[in-house]
Chains A and B, each alone.
Chain A
């Protein structure tokens, strides 16, 4: 009975579906794309319509670029069916394109055109573009210096932290001696060492490397240790009855079992090492994005500051993406890991 009435309901509903105007269907599919296009056209117009209140050289190019993006958004989403996965990806992100276009329009109008926001502190989009085109060599040098410093310190911190963590988790004797030191020194923010580090180390670069390694090492140590310590005894029993020697128990049982914890430590270490990196570059090292920020502030070059901030955020986010990709590869056996 109920099946019959259900199919009946469907049958009477079907014509209504097919009578849905094609236009509405099309609007649902591509409407957001059209909106995105309109938002970016508005941004382009906002660049070109009024005169700039200041002297910026990239206003015209930015306006043209906005029109190009508007065109891509329009044709990309309307023709998404012919563009395969790129089209699908674009359609999925179309709402973000709308928001971004609207935000840029507002920003453009509020800064470059009517100066509703006080000017040197809130530069318009075109002045940030100007930084990327005109100050590129210096910015790239800074990126390179930051990445080098961060990578060196982080890798040292990870290696030392991981080995220490495994040793404490595995050996009671090592734990006896290292644990109190860890408790005493570890919770101290690495930046507190700054004054000491900069006069005890031969160079500001080695001092910063040490500080970044310290900031990374503590969470990596603690989480590796807790990971190794929390491995169920049942795993060791199984391995021992199958003839495993102690080295096998460490390398093939303890470490793989602790790996999910280790990755939490690597993630936390990455976060705290970014903080130390920027502070170290602002105070001691004469290179890197932190230094660039400081330098830009000294010259009241606020556009340069925003430009450097954007690059920095992309780098940090990229590093975390990379870490998560490595984790997903190594921990495929886990179910339900967080998507970054």
Chain B
């Protein structure tokens, strides 16, 4: 049994948060006590991250209150949250790329006044790194570190923060096993110092291994809290998936092989041959990528964020110049031919944030459709355009008032539907998808994935599906490629793809 030894250090009461089109949190209440490791367990999209961000003052809840140190707030802001000792650490490192390790840690340390010198913190960082047995240069520029090194910096930062409550949002997901063990050890050390740790994870075994209590979330609600003495993997899993467990099973999708013409010579639609490309920070983001995608095939590309996925997508749609190597579309060399030429030859793009990448929120759906059309005269013919948008609205079930509706008025899910509709209609040969389901709720994510499978089966569309979610990639792909540090480190057919093997390759 867990006996609360004192007052809760942090309590949220009746939190509700709605994003355009999604009810992310529905009347959620939770108490955290000093000196416990509390695991918040749930699937992707169950609302656990949103809850943590509200605790950290990053989001403002629509309803409910946050009680900390005996005081109640309608909402916090990040500065206030940190001043009450609530520290949030996200999955993707929240480090400023152009600052050094020590500088990044310094700005997060509230025990240092604004006039304290860099020298002091450098020493402190070096000392704590030695204590933890981590070899890292406090003066290294963060942008030049690898993902794993960045996560280690986050751990270092967390350990240096004088925090009462640490909100760890999936931070261990992609850490190599040995480091993860060391990290759990450190969490226990922090707990023994009386601190509270909220470990947000979707891994049942992890929660069971380290937590004192597990709270399970599903579709924006808390469905149960289990104490250490009652831990049981099946019980917890049951809570986590509920009745939708079967829906999320890998083999719910229609089976079937890509259509193969018996007599036609196979020629890949997309062929990258030893492609090198430079990334944002100047180094090579792609280091000799070779992939091929056949007609009607979905190639999943999985990897930890920041390993070249974005750059791969950008090369495929012609947004990023190729430094070395060749890119063939249907056997035609399109290396560095630019986005216009590649689009014109029938390649569509579904990016993670369409309002950032490929739509203009201030313009109407009609205008956004016209923008993607190839050819056509200099003058827009409004009537046919409106008719085509109406068609798409109907066919893809987009909730939009009219073709003249501004894109930004739509909910996140409907923006994505519109983008998918537009791209599926215009992509004749291939589609590149980059983290397409990130802004979608689970249900629409599934229906999108189904639509993709259908298109690839029926019309022979080739798809490159790039995602950080291994589950999703396994669900959608015919073949899975793992990208790591700008290289494709392994390609497996779906049948041969072992989760364990892929995870190892991702963090290698």
A is bound by B? no
Chain A residues proximal to chain B, CB less than 8 Å: none
Chain B residues proximal to chain A, CB less than 8 Å: none
